[in-house]
Every structure is written in C-alpha cells, then in structure tokens.
Structure 1
Amino acid sequence: MSRRALTLLVAGFLALTLALISAVLPVPYVVLSPGPTENTIGDVKGKPVISISGHQTYPTEGKLSLVTVAYQGGPDNRLDLLTALRGWVDPTVAVVPEEAIFPKTSTLKEVEEQNTQEMTDSQQSATAAALNALKIPIQKAVSVAETDKGQPADGKLKPGDEITAVDGTPVAELESVAAAVQKHKPGEPVRFTVKRGTASTDVTITTARSDEGKALVGVRMQSAYKFPFKVDISVGQVGGPSAGLMFSLGIYDKLTPGGITGGKSVAGTGTIDPNGNVGPIGGIEQKMVGARSAGATIFLTPSGNCADAVRAVPKGLRLVKVETLEGAVKAMDALRTGSGDVPACPAS
C-alpha cells in the first residue's frame, strides 16, 4: 500500500472514530415529544379522573381530554448528540436547551416538586373556576406554601397550615395577612392562629426587618378554597398547571345535565385561575400531535397560543380559541347544537 493510500485510510478511520464518539457524547438539550392524553370525564386504570361526592352529578359522553408533553434528557440523563440530531429533523418533536426545562438555579428534585405543586394548585383553581361558573358558593382561605429558611417563621409555621387569623382578626385573603403583619414594627411579635390538621393553635413569631425596613416573618402563602362538597382529581404522574382548563370543563360537565361534548372527542390545554381566565402554555405543537393521535377532532386552544398553533395544527384537528371557561362552555354548546359562533384561531 502506498504512503498516500495509508494516510487516507488512517485519516478516514480517525474521522469515523471522532464521528462515532461525537454521536454518543452527552449534550445539554432536552427532546420534547407528544405525551399521553387522559379523558377528564373518563377513567384511568378503572378509577374516575374526576370524582365528585356530596353533590348531584350527571352522565357524560364523548371525551374532554387533557394533553401532555413527554421529555427525554435532563441533568441526570443527558441526551447523546445523535438523539438530539434526530429530534431536530422530526417535525413532531422539539429540541430545547436543558436549562429551559431544568433551570440551573434549581435541582431536579426542586423542579419535580414545583411541577407537583403546580398540578395541585391547578386542580384547586379548576374546581373553584367550575363552581364559580355554576354560581355555587365557595369559601376562600389562606394556607402556608413554605417558609424561608433562617427567617422567623421557619420551623414555626408549616406547609399546609391554614392561617385563620392574625392578632385575633379573622383573615381569608393573602392581602389581609400581609397587611396585618405590616402593621407591626420589625422586632415586634405577631400572633398567627392556624388550623393544622383538625386542631387550631396560636403561633407567636417575632418579626425581622426586611431590606425595605418593614416587618418580615418569611412565609410564602397561597390561596386555598373550602368547597361545599368533595371533588377529587387523579391523573397519576402528570405535573404542571396546563391541564386546568380541561379539569374545569370536566367538573362543569359532571355537575350539569346533558353532556357538553355532544359525543365528540375534544382535547385542549390551558392554565386557569379561580375566575375562569385561561392562560397560555408551553409545548402546544407536541400537545396537538398527541391529541390528534388519540382521535381528537377539536382542540381548545388558549388565545395566547393561537399564533403557534395555526402554524403546526395537524390535519383533521379544528382549533377553537378559548379565553375563559365561560367562553369554552359557549363554544362547546355551539359545536354541539350547530348554532352560534365558534371562536377560531386566526390564520397567521
């Protein structure tokens, strides 16, 4: 073999070796793909997704499916370059920087805990939105989400505590608790009455000084609700807030006579607040693909996601623009009866 041929052979071998090594090198990206769908008015493993007790319910029909996004990769299970490259050429998936899903300021455990908390909050807001839409009275409350480490409330107030009064004055709003604490000067004691489990107890905390010179106890609070009957939502390992709209519609459907889908297979997504306002979400492209693959023909789309949705909507899936729970119910009525306007995402 000539020297030139040998040189070319060695160079080719080295190039191939480097290419193979590069293909299996871990890269800081995450692949997002269509995840499973769950019918909120159906069952998962023989158990209803939404169970209501203590109030009359009605039969439902069709599907009101929540949609999810699955991910591959992450700090503890990095993608190889070849997998990332395959994702870049697949129109049904998205390849995003790892820190878009797993911020460098948070651990994997913290991200998972946040997703779980967001799902819990979403279920509370969805129930409140459905009951508010049906004019069913609910009571508001304030609960402890967490305390700041090293601050006065640390170890004295616990996650899940319901704050019922401050200095003997009943409270039911976040603003009321904050205002009551701010009446004190730094270094003064403030007395919280909390319901912990079934017991009520008083907890006195000496305030610290904030950076602005105001009284501080270091507690993070969240709104909670007391519903007049029991609503349980069970979807397994799904996390995040984006199923709120579909939970609300499922609860609304079960509490009203006559199915709102007209037997159609409807999927959708969107966050929701207790007043019924629907917010945008991430992964709309993958969620539409998952919905269509599961047989949905109608997709309830937050108005804030319409621009992205119209550019990637799968064939056979009708986009219905949604801004509020009330609007979603009206759109479903129009689809079922064939009369009335059905808001659509405008073409870009």
Structure 2
Amino acid sequence: MQKRGVLIGAGALVTVLLTVGAWFAPVPYVVRQPGPVLDVLSPTVITVTGADVSASTGKLLLTTVEIVDGIDTATAARTWFEDRDALIPREAIFPAGQSTEQVLQANQALFTTSETTAIDVALGKVGRPTGVRVTIDVKEVGGPSAGLMLTLGIIDKLTPADLTGGHTIAGTGQVTADGAVGPIGGIPQKLHGADVDYFLVPADNCAEAVGAVPPGLTLARVATVDDALLALKTIAAGAQPATC
C-alpha cells in the first residue's frame, strides 16, 4: 500500500509539472498593446527652416502600438480577456519566411515614405512657400500610420493660427499623395493609449473604433486631410466635430 501511495503521488507530481510546463510554453501569437504617444508639435520632432514657425498652446499626438513577441500560454490567456490589448497570430505580424529584422526594415521603409508624403501634402496645403525645408525626427516608429498627424503638425507650424485651439488631440491614419486618409491597424490599442478628449479616426476604421472607444473620448471621423483640418477648427471653436 505504501509503495502504491508513492507511485500515485509521483504521478500527481508529474501531472502538475506537465500542466505548469504547458502554462508557460510559448504560443504562436503576439500581443498588440498601446505604445508611446508623441507630440508632433514638439520642436524636436518637426523642424522647419526657411519660414516663420508659429507656436501652439495645444498638442497633436501621434499614437503607436507595441508588439510583444515570445509570449506564453499564461500571457495569451490573460490577454484574451482584456479590452485594451489584442492577441493576434504571430504570422500576421511576422510572415513566414521573413526574419524579424526584415519586418522591422520594411516597416521603417513605410514610415520613411509616410514622412515624405506628409511633407508634400502639408506644403501643398499651405501654398508651397519657396525655400522652406521640413525635416522629421521620429525614432523607433515604423509603418505608415503616422502620416496624418505629421501632416497636421507641419501645417500647424506653417499656419499663423493655432490649429489645436489649446486642446490636446490624438489621431492616426495613413495619408496618400492626394490627401486621402487611409485605415490603419491597432485602432483599439491606439484609442486606449491616448489619454485625451478627442481622437482623429480614419473613416474606414470608424466601425472598429466605435466598438472600442474608452469612456469620455470623442471620435472625429476623417476621410481626408481637409476633414481633419475641419475637425481641428471645429474643436478649437468649442463645437462637436463630425463623429464616427
């Protein structure tokens, strides 16, 4: 009887160890969570030479997401029940056949393109003043979704009026050469990462955003840079912008 008891006890111990091992085993998923926010009106982000630059009493926040790789079953289970973070298949971020470094390089290339487009679109909106040079310095941000806020930041600096009206306004969205604002990924995480009253949301992200909006946050629906400028003007005037 004593020997049998030892064997049963040993079997229970093995079961516990296997369960614990499975709980902390890696899974083929990543966590997408809110990342840092960055004020594009900061003098270190956008530098304009060859023209007078106006000051702003408010902020325009560029929002980001972070990807947490190498998660285990326990982390995946916790994330599944959270509203703020998202559990997504790893291959959706790191496709098979591409190294992490290759993915990072591709995202950086997309960001560089979005910088160039933002400068071109912004200068077009302010009349392309002769001799103006704009440089952007944003580190550790990839992808195209910073385009809208960078565009607005440049326009604000080259416009005598304070476009923010003293408000802190966050946003996101790709910008194309014709001034259209395109959808981005991670909108729920970006909404939760920005502790503000107003958020500029690409029109094609509105349906997803409405289902994830934190209490007290007003969504401003924008399909173009002109829509975004109108939303800023409306907010500055103390009125309600067009919402999702």
Q: TM-score range by the shorter chain?
A: over 0.9
Q: Which deviations, in whole Å up to 9, do the C-alpha atoms of 1:203-236 show, x marking residues without a partner? A: xxxxxxxxxxxxxxxxxxxxxxxx8421111111
Who wins on radius of gyration, i.e. which is larger? 1
Residues 147-170 of structure 1: per-residue CA shift (max 9 Å, x gap): xxxxxxxxxxxxxxxxxxxxxxxx
Counterparts of 1:230 and 1:16, CA distance in 2: 64
Question: What are the residue-to-residue correspondences of 1:171-250 with 2, within 5 Å?
Answer: 228-250=131-153
1:291 counterpart = 2:194: yes
Q: Give the secondary-structure state (helix, strand or coil) at the position aligned to 2:194.
A: helix
How far did residue 344 of structure 1 move?
A: 0.4
Deviation at 1:309, TM superposition (A): 0.5
Partner SS for 1:27: coil
Q: Which has the higher strand share?
A: 1
Q: Distance in 2 between matches of 1:342 and 1:88?
A: 33
1:98 aligns with 2:90: yes
Give the deviation of 1:134 after TM superposition: 2.0
**Structure 2 residue 205 is the aligned partner of structure 1 residue 302:** no
Percent identity of paired positions between Structure 1 and Structure 2: 41
What secondary structure is seen at the aligned counterpart in 2 of 1:10? helix
Determine whether 1:124 maps to 2:116: yes
Any idea what the Cα deviations from partners look like across 1:305-327, whole Å, max 9, x if unmatched?
10111101011211000100111
Matched residue SS, 1:300: strand
Q: 1:61 aligns with which of 39, 57, 65?
A: 57
Deviation for aligned residue 1:56 = 1.9
Q: Note if 1:317 corresponds to 2:217.
A: yes
What corresponds to 1:343 in structure 2?
Answer: 242
Whole-Å Cα distance in 2 between the matches of residues 95 and 12 of structure 1?
32
1:277 aligns to 2:180 (yes or no): yes
CA distance in 1, matches of 2:234, 2:75: 44
Counterpart position of 1:41:
41
Q: How many residues align?
A: 244
2:44 counterpart of 1:52: no
SS in 1 for 2:211: helix
Confirm or deny: 8 A CA contact 1:132 1:274 kept in the other structure: no
CA contact (8 A) 1:133 1:276 kept: no
Unaligned runs of 5+ in 2: none
Aligned to 2:127: 135
Write the deviation string for residues 88-142 of structure 1: whole angstroms up to 9, x where unpaired: 12221111111000011322121111111111100001111111222327xxxxx
Check conservation: 1:132, 1:275, Cα contact below 8 A: no
Q: Secondary structure at the match of 2:114?
A: helix
The residue matched to 2:35 in structure 1 has which SS? strand
User: Which amino acid letter does the alignment assign opposite residue 81 of structure 2?
Assistant: V
What is the distance in 2 between the residues matched to 1:3 and 1:279?
69
Equivalent residue, structure 1, for 2:80? 88
Normalized per residue, the structure richer in helix is 2
The residue that corresponds to 2:12 in the other structure is 12
1:266 counterpart (150, 166, 169): 169
- The whole-number CA distance in structure 1 between the counterparts of 2:85 and 2:3 is 47
Runs of 4+ in 1 over 6 A off after TM superposition: none
One-letter identity of the residue aligned with 2:133: K
Distance 1:300 1:108 in 2: 31
Aligned with 1:257 (options 151, 155, 160):
160
Q: Which runs of 5+ in 1 are unaligned?
A: 138-226
